Amino acid sequence: MGSTINSQHVEDKGHVVLFPFMSKGHTIPLLHLSRLFLARRLRVTIFTTPANRPFINQSLADTSASVISLPFPQSIFPEIPAGVESTDKLPSIDLFYPFALTTGHMQPDFERALRTLPRVSFMVSDAFLWWTLDSADKLGFPGFIFYGFGNYPMSVSKVVAENRLLHGPESDDELITVTRFPWIQITRKDFYEASTKDYHDQPSQSSEFRMKIKVANIRSFGMIVNSFYELEPVFTDYWNSECKPKVWCVGPLCQVAQDEPHDDHHDKPIWIEWLDEKLEKGSWVLYVAFGTQAELSAEQLQEIAKGLENSNINFLWVIRSKGTEETVGWDINGFEERVKGRGIVVKEWVDQRRILMHESVKGFVSHCGWNSVLESICAGVPILAWPMMAEQPLNARMVVEEIKVGLRVETCDGSVKGFVKSEGLEKMVKELMEGEKGEEVRKKVKEFADLANKAVKEGGSSWLTLQSLIDEWGTS
């Protein structure tokens, strides 16, 4: 899992094309995967768009990966502002479907560029870029898809859909037993479709997108999954014995970064210095962050602030929500002043993995984006699960009920995506950091951290799976 892969080391054991979806949570793991291919002596070409290119160039600056950017098409949907080329820059995540559908217009440019490349052995592209499978088909190389999440949500969703389980109950909060996995109970609110404004307002865009993805699934030669066998053996076995296409678990991909050195003299952000100080004093810190997509209301942000303030726990809170200072009644400066010495708020991009790996960090309040879950597991940090959208409610169920590496935040109406009052947060933060249940999940997450580490080491399950993928499809 070396981190420096320069051109001298790369022999031509095949050529892989990668096309990540334009969203950080989808791009970051595929950049890690590209390092793994380079380390196994494959040539790598990554496709992206001009506005996303700097992030990719910077992430892979020390490698020989080639990056090609294709113009992002003018959207036929007027709501998508010109210049927006990634989901985190959308004015609202409600525009996800128009954005994703717009990418389809890149297909001609993609195919023109592919025709100029050395022979491609295989492609790994995000399933959200369904049209790339068409291109692979036309140009005669196998295409694999990547979703960015694990086998648990995929398997549960499949069983729920096939058995039309969401059609039965009268209320969105009623518990439904997942027939094939009867120890799991879900509610309609665990699913994006059934409970969001987005679905009801844009049923045609949503179903058009889902249909395209379904076809891409059928066309693909397999799914590359950012997970490891030992984390979800039941769901991986279920998928590979009863469903298609085959899944290849090659993660956790964030482990690729585990050997990356940090130049502490030249590269030490103030929040890492702050964590160092806490560590010196023997104090524990709670990390609070909700990924790159979640949109929290000003009201919800205020409740978080109050809950953290009242908890008396040390915390590092990364905020990306728009409109914090501007919102009436939200005095973030006053809040920072009051919690000075005990808590800090960061409004910039952070190296999340570095924070989670810091020895002072002993808990993570997370929206349960799959990358955050894996990064927390790898760092041995237990999670306070607070799912907000997409497959996050299912990830939260897995974290809390299946692998038991976290607790769930208390919502005021008890539902999976309900509003969280300061008291509900304060209570569960204390339980995670100081309580008995917190201690149990802390112990459990360390066991999985160990398994994750073994999975990616030479001879481990993910290491072997990647090798068999390359042996089967790599050599051109």
Q: Which residue, 352 or 461, is less far from ligand UPG as judged by CB?
A: 352
Q: Which residue, 336 or 351, is less far from ligand UPG as judged by CB?
A: 351
Of 214, 217, 226, 220, nearest to 25 by C-alpha is 226
Q: Which residue, 150 or 343, is less far from ligand UPG as judged by CB?
A: 150
CB of 62 to ligand UPG, least distance (A): 18
Amino acid in position 437? K
CB of 8 to ligand UPG, least distance (A): 29
CB of 331 to ligand UPG, least distance (A): 23
Distance (Å, whole) CA 170 – CA 188? 10
Q: Which residue, 77 or 349, is less far from ligand UPG as judged by CB?
A: 349
Q: Which residue, 93 or 313, is less far from ligand UPG as judged by CB?
A: 93
CB of 352 to ligand UPG, least distance (A): 3
User: Phi-psi region for residue 248, left (φ > 0), alpha (ψ -120 to 50) or beta?
Assistant: beta
Query: Beta-strand (E) ranges in 49-184?
Result: 66-69, 122-126, 143-146, 176-177
Residues 6 or more apart whose Cβ sits within 8 Å of residue 190: 393, 394, 397, 416
Q: Which residue, 14 or 380, is less far from ligand UPG as judged by CB?
A: 380
Q: Give the binding site for ligand UPG (CB under 6 A).
A: 24-26, 28, 148-149, 291-293, 318, 349-353, 369-372, 375, 390-392
Task: Answer for the pair 308, 337: CB distance below 8 angstroms, yes or no.
Answer: no
Report the Cα–Cα distance between both ends of the chain, in Å, rounded: 23
CB of 474 to ligand UPG, least distance (A): 25
CB of 272 to ligand UPG, least distance (A): 13
Task: Answer for the pair 463, 39: CB distance below 8 angstroms, yes or no.
Answer: no
CA distances 257 to 203, 301, 370, 379, 465, Å, are 39, 31, 17, 12, 19
